[in-house]
Structure 1
Amino acid sequence: MGVKVYGATMSTCTARVLLCLEEMGAEYELVPIDFSTGEHKQPAHLARNPFGQVPAFEDGALILYESRAIARYILRKYKSSGGDLLKEGSLEESAMVDLWLEVESQQFNPAIGPIFYQIFIFPRFGNVPDQAVIDTNLEKLCKVLDVYEARLSKTKYLAGDFFSLADLSHVPLLHYFMATPHASVVNSRPHVKAWWEGVSSRPACKKVTAAMPASA
């Protein structure tokens, strides 16, 4: 039984898992979960992810959920063939990867996530985006990106002069964000812009994001 990912191409968390699989050159099957029919809340999927979310990940008898945990599993499993994107061979480098993964989940994601939902998700359910929510979170995001700009003025990538999961984990939400009228907050910061252009041009990133809709 091969690796299966249960999810949706529009899902940023599904994309995070697919990005890792593609970076590692791993074979996998993407099993679509249809949100419009409520498939993610049906017993079959709840058996894989009890929170009724995507993705769920299956590797033989092992079933995982939560995209960041799945990502680490994939990178450990395929490290010998795809490279060490967790830098677990170095205590210092792995600490920096962990640090920037925490920044991504605790600082970056809470700021950019609401913007994504307002612009891309709400209209799909007939709701009008709340500009006040967008503006408030843009302000938060700008402060986060100021920290990134300072960091990336010293190192090529977030954790150091090496590409890692810390960079890759930013791709799904930034892919959508760069298709909005607010992309200037990235492009106006030269080191953040150069970093994003380098990360998003990687073959794995181009392949996964090509399947993600870039408009609401």
Structure 2
Amino acid sequence: MVLKVYGTPGSLCTKRVAVVLYEKQIPFKLYAVDMAKGENKSPEYLEKQPFGQIPYIDDDGFIIYESRAIGAYIATKYPDQGTRDLIPKDPKTNALYLQAASVELAHFDEHASKIVWEKVIKPKLGLITDQAAVDDQVIRLAAKLDVYDKILSRQKYVAGNELTLADLYHLPYASLLGAAGIDLLEKRPNVLRWYKEISARPSWQAVKDTIKGTA
């Protein structure tokens, strides 16, 4: 049975799931959720995703939501398909992966998502950007990326010298910092080298503009 993804073609969190599915070569079908019509708040939808957010997946009756949890489920279920060891098996390398995944959520997404919301998403919704909030988040993210640059001067990826989910999880928001007019990635040579490599992967190229599914 083909895995079902319920989200929207342009959703950043849905892209986070889709890039993992492409890396693991898992066929999937995207079922578009019309958030403008409130489909994500319908009783039927809330039975599957009680917070009314996107995406969630249906894997032959198994329902799971939250994009990072979905990515981990896919990588764990299909460890030897597509790109291997997106979640390392060795206890020490796995701990370093978990560390990097935590850093992505707490130190990168925390700030990058707010910048993208203010500078990219709010204007599309006809809302006014809070420039003071943007400026504050840029300062905070710059400090975090200084640390990233030091880490990436010693290793190829954020968890070591092998690609993991922690790298892929950065892609949706990192890809829109440029659209937000923020050049923090470009100013740090090791961060830039890393970002150029992961963003050039065929998996991201397949979903960066819109998600079509593979089945």
1:5-36 C-alpha deviation (Å, 9 max, x unpaired): 10012222111110110000110001111111
Tell which has more relative contact order, 1 or 2 (C-alpha 8 A, sep 6+): 2
Which secondary structure state, in structure 2, belongs to the residue aligned with residue 31 of structure 1?
strand
Which secondary structure state, in structure 2, belongs to the residue aligned with residue 126 of structure 1?
coil
Q: TM (normalized to structure 2)?
A: 0.95
Percent identity reads 37
RMSD: 1.1
Q: TM (normalized to structure 1)?
A: 0.94
Tell whether the 8 Å contact from 2:20 to 2:74 is kept in structure 1 after alignment: yes
**Which amino acid counterpart does residue 23 of structure 2 have in structure 1?**
E
**Which amino acid counterpart does residue 17 of structure 1 have in structure 2?**
V
How far the C-alpha of 1:134 sits from its partner, in A, is 0.5
Aligned residues: 210
Partner of 1:2: 2
Which secondary structure state, in structure 2, belongs to the residue aligned with residue 47 of structure 1?
helix
How far the C-alpha of 1:107 sits from its partner, in A, is 1.2
How far the C-alpha of 1:45 sits from its partner, in A, is 1.3
**Which amino acid counterpart does residue 38 of structure 1 have in structure 2?**
G
**2: CA distance, partners of 1:133 / 1:81:** 42
Unaligned runs of 5+ in 1: none
Partner of 1:209: 208
**1:1-216 map, 5 Å:** 1-82=1-82, 83-88=84-89, 90-182=90-182, 184-211=183-210
**1: CA distance, partners of 2:9 / 2:119:** 17
**Which amino acid counterpart does residue 196 of structure 1 have in structure 2?**
Y
Which secondary structure state, in structure 2, belongs to the residue aligned with residue 64 of structure 1?
strand
Which secondary structure state, in structure 2, belongs to the residue aligned with residue 50 of structure 1?
coil
Tell whether the 8 Å contact from 2:8 to 2:34 is kept in structure 1 after alignment: yes
Tell whether the 8 Å contact from 2:120 to 2:179 is kept in structure 1 after alignment: no
Unaligned runs of 5+ in 2: none
**Which amino acid counterpart does residue 103 of structure 2 have in structure 1?**
V
**2: CA distance, partners of 1:61 / 1:112:** 34
**2: CA distance, partners of 1:120 / 1:43:** 30
**Which amino acid counterpart does residue 65 of structure 1 have in structure 2?**
Y
The structure 1 segments of at least 4 consecutive aligned residues displaced by more than 6 Å after TM superposition are none
